[in-house]
Amino acid sequence: MLCIDIQARQGDLSLQVNTRVANTVTALAGPSGCGKTTLLRVIAGLTPSQGLLTFNDVTWQDDTIIVPSHRRRIGFVFQDDQLFPHLTVEQNLRYGMERAQAAGVDIALTLAEVTAHFDLHALLKRRPATLSGGESRRVNIARAVLSQPQLLLLDEPLTGLDNKRKAEIFPYLAKVTRELQIPTLYVSHINDEIAQFCENMIVMQHGKLIDQGATAEVLPRLWREPLESDRSLSEAGSLINASVSRFDPIYSMIHLQVADQPLQVIGPKMPETSQIRLFLAAKDVAIALQRPTDLSIRNTLAATVRAITPMQGETPGLVAVELRIEHPTEPQALSAHITAAACDALLLETGAHVFALIKSARISTPSIFEG
């Protein structure tokens, strides 16, 4: 458990954060300039701050103690490339591990193991200048992992990469955060990245925490406090669990099951896992009272209305409709943003049985498939 109760000032930014972060993968989200990177640097001991900071009941900072950065055993992946240009990839990787050995840290993650995790064997003899953007990012993250961290800080590790390169590196990030079980704080502006592997989510604005909780709970309520200058992140939506049924190569169609109901998304191949997560943007969900026919929208899910909330501020005239996809063991929540006029015309009320029309469903990876 990471316990934070700190204050810091960086230029015009006044950072004030008081929270507890579980030992899992947590997204740190918010508009540019809100304090995300500053908070990571405070946690790492790279930016001065006041207050209390503990990790797993070990005090890193209080009124009398400030543990130096190198003794906190934190793996930090910055936004820009931090590889040593005069060293080979293998020498860069060994650098982090050798520093850990010199500090007397047990080597639980070996060079061979991490090289295999990140598929780096073919790159070991190359210099950083010869690497592609995706290859360089993989090496940066692998070096951080080889430092044997007890906490991993990833500051927008996919920044500057196109969707193809993001898709190449994303599986390796998932391996780090899940299989190696390293508690991780992951900074991102992109909901699809967050939905892919972050179990929890913290949202910041103006140096303060404005929301926190399970990712599946926070994503639907992003509209409640619009994030200035960050429309992409403010896109509220739902995180849906789906089972993969089959792949149709003729139509490049992935067939899924959501709470025993069929759903389809376009994709180039069969997903590698049988269980995936979908991000459904609330603005891409329509509502009908009867199951429609002769419609280009392919996905319709039977659901029950749980709540209807008028949306204020930047979205007057809209309502947020909270739906529930019924299932005996795994019911799921689904959000739809529709006009207040449509809501009144349909006479929607809590408990009504409706059909959610899914205009687009996005598999939670940087490559966005629509159906």
Residues facing 261 on adjacent strands: 258
Token pair for 227: 């994030």
- Which of 224, 251, 267 finishes a domain? 224
Whether residue 69 is found in the same domain as residue 200: yes
CATH of the domain at 6: 3.40.50.300
Local confidence pLDDT in tens for the 371 residues of the chain? 999 999 999 888 999 999 999 999 999 998 888 999 999 999 999 999 999 999 999 999 999 999 999 889 999 999 888 899 999 999 999 998 998 888 888 888 899 988 988 889 999 999 999 998 888 988 998 999 999 999 999 998 887 777 777 777 777 777 777 777 789 999 987 777 787 778 899 999 999 999 999 998 898 888 876 666 555 455 788 989 999 999 999 999 999 999 999 999 988 888 878 888 888 989 999 999 999 989 999 899 999 999 999 987 666 789 999 999 999 988 999 999 999 999 999 999 999 999 999 998 766 543 333 34
pTM for the complete prediction?
A: 0.83
| Joined tokens for residue 212 | 């926190």
332 and 205 in a common domain:
no
Domain presence at residue 59: yes
Question: Which DSSP helix (H) or strand (E) runs through 36?
Answer: helix 36-44
**Same domain, yes or no: 254 and 322:** yes
Asked if residues 358 and 297 have their Cβ atoms less than 8 Å apart, the reply is yes
Q: Which residues does 262 contact at the CB level (< 8 Å), separation at least 6?
A: 245, 255, 256
CA angle 86, 148, 92 (to 5 degrees): 10
Cα separations in angstroms, 326 against 164, 302, 354: 36, 8, 12
Please write the tens of the pLDDT for every residue from 117-171: 888 999 999 999 999 888 898 899 899 999 999 999 999 888 777 777 777 777 7
Q: In 3D, which of 193, 181, 198, 195 has the Cα closest to residue 137?
A: 193
**Residue 328 within any structural domain of the chain:** yes
Structure tokens at 314: 């930047």
**217 shares its domain with 244:** no
Asked, for residue 230, whether it belongs to a domain, the answer is no
Last residue of a domain, one of 224, 252, 284: 224
Tokens describing residue 162: 């196109």
3-state helix, strand, coil split of the chain in percent (to 5) is 25, 35, 40
**Together in a domain, 193 and 219:** yes
Asked whether residue 232 is assigned to any structural domain, the reply reads no
Q: Do 271 and 158 belong to one domain?
A: no
Same domain (yes/no): 242, 214: no
* 69 plus 205 within the same structural domain: yes
Tokens of 357: 């029309």
* Residue of 47, 22, 13 lying closest to 208 (CA atoms): 13
Residue at which a domain ends, from 169, 194, 224? 224
Look up the CATH number of the domain holding residue 287: 2.40.50.100
Domain tally for the chain? 2
Q: Starting at the edge strand that comes first in sequence, how are the strands of the sheet with 299-311 ordered?
A: 285-288, 353-358, 299-311, 318-325, 332-339
N- to C-terminal Cα separation, the chain: 40
Q: What would the pLDDT profile of 224-233 be if each residue is shown by its tens digit?
A: 766 665 554 5
> Residue 367: what pLDDT?
33
Give every strand in the sheet of 58-61, ordered side by side. 58-61, 50-55, 2-10, 13-21, 208-214, 200-205, 25-29, 184-187, 151-155, 74-77
Distance from C-alpha of 243 to C-alpha of 245, rounded to nearest angstrom: 6
Question: In this structure, are 172 and 33 located in the same domain?
Answer: yes
The boundaries of the domain holding residue 202 are: 2-224
Give the bridge partners for 363, in sequence order.
Answer: 278
